Structure 1
């Protein structure tokens, strides 16, 4: 909600700060000496892509016509035209528009994701290699690992990949390196599932939304999302020098906790 409500205000601030980019980039002394790696079109399209990512436009589910309206607004500003509305007067209306739009989108996502979750877990019952806990967590032990197992109060070092039911990867340590985290500071599905294996073990967790990010979701995770993780438990306990071992220490934010 906060991200969408802030869209109109923050977007203008970002555009107005464009002139500060030159001060932030270490430009070469002789510009133009080498053949450009990218065309102007590629760079500007990439900048547009970054703006869309920064303001989470994908989550607004804008259609082509609506994107054309946004593009027209950008063009009118660039060409020195007045804003189509009195911005001071229309600010509340913009916030109300995005708030209503989010409520509509979230309501639909909740219904769809709950249905998909129920159908998905129905397919897991009876599979020979898949087990479950009374909490609703389903899991598949790929490698049991050693006898050194964590409990819910431990810090662990893991590699992992998280996917939605459509197989889209939403989080991974592949490019970031292993993560060190406290099991009491992660989603319940992890707190319950990771202690089922020992060091060197691998597990696949099928996490219902109530053990993940719930009906609220979080940035990048829609409400009522079922999550599928493949996790490798590298170590129980925090390394003496995490940075030297290429381990990233996880610092949870408020969005990582689900009430």
Structure 2
């Protein structure tokens, strides 16, 4: 099998260039290409190991600070958008708002017992961002989830104790009752408001 190394080289260059750009690394392309050619030809580095380590340590610190700034900006944006969404949502038909800020709509009212915080329950659910993006779904997996009521996000813990077995509710959970400033990367970004359809199937 023959390989067209010119085309392979072109593709590798495209991939590396795209990766650097996507990471926000403003590399000097001319220097990068020259260094790549030098290393490929087995030529010695123009920089000593101590200098390389010093430069790369500074670069890594710079990238970490940049990442933190981006996350902070995203968290602030998500918080504002989430608050606006919940403010508008609370006026919709059937929406109940609890003192904690948790909102819910009863889709089906079950007649079974309500779990306590110490109980383990079985439930089907689907989680979405406020833009409609599905980030998790037991329905799609075809298998309900089982977990302790007090080992999930605060919004779930609060809502589940109000639901009779057999109920299906739609939850609108503010960031402070979900994953907060930490988020749950990569699907759930910092300060994201979440929407869940939750069907309480059984108390174990």
TM-score range, shorter chain: 0.7 to 0.9
Q: Greater relative contact order (Cα 8 A, min sep 6): structure 1 or 2?
A: 2
Of 168, 185, 190 in structure 2, the residue corresponding to residue 223 of structure 1 is 190
Of 115, 136, 149 in structure 2, the residue corresponding to residue 183 of structure 1 is 149
Q: Tell me the distance in 1 between the aligned counterparts of 2:60 and 2:178.
A: 29
User: Given the superposition, is the C-alpha separation of residues 137 and 90 from structure 1 closer, same or farther in structure 2, using an over 3 Å criterion?
Assistant: same
Q: Tell me the distance in 2 between the aligned counterparts of 1:94 and 1:231.
A: 45
SS in structure 2 at match of 1:196: coil
**CA displacement, residues 21-40 of structure 1 (integer Å, 9 cap, x when unaligned):** xxxxxxxxxxxxxxxxxxxx
- Structure 2: 5+ residue stretches without partners: 1-7
Q: Tell me the distance in 2 between the aligned counterparts of 1:222 and 1:151.
A: 30
| Aligned twin of 2:5 | none
User: Given the superposition, is the C-alpha separation of residues 199 and 93 from structure 1 closer, same or farther in structure 2, using an over 3 Å criterion?
Assistant: same
Whether the 8 Å CA contact 1:131–1:140 is kept in 2: the answer is yes
C-alpha deviation, 1:66, in angstroms: 5.8
| Aligned twin of 2:118 | 153
Q: Tell me the distance in 2 between the aligned counterparts of 1:98 and 1:155.
A: 43
Give me the CA root mean square deviation.
3.4
Whether the 8 Å CA contact 1:151–1:195 is kept in 2: the answer is yes
Whether the 8 Å CA contact 1:213–1:223 is kept in 2: the answer is yes
Pick which of 184-193 and 111-120 moved more: 111-120
**CA displacement, residues 157-204 of structure 1 (integer Å, 9 cap, x when unaligned):** 111111111111122222262111111111100001122222222111
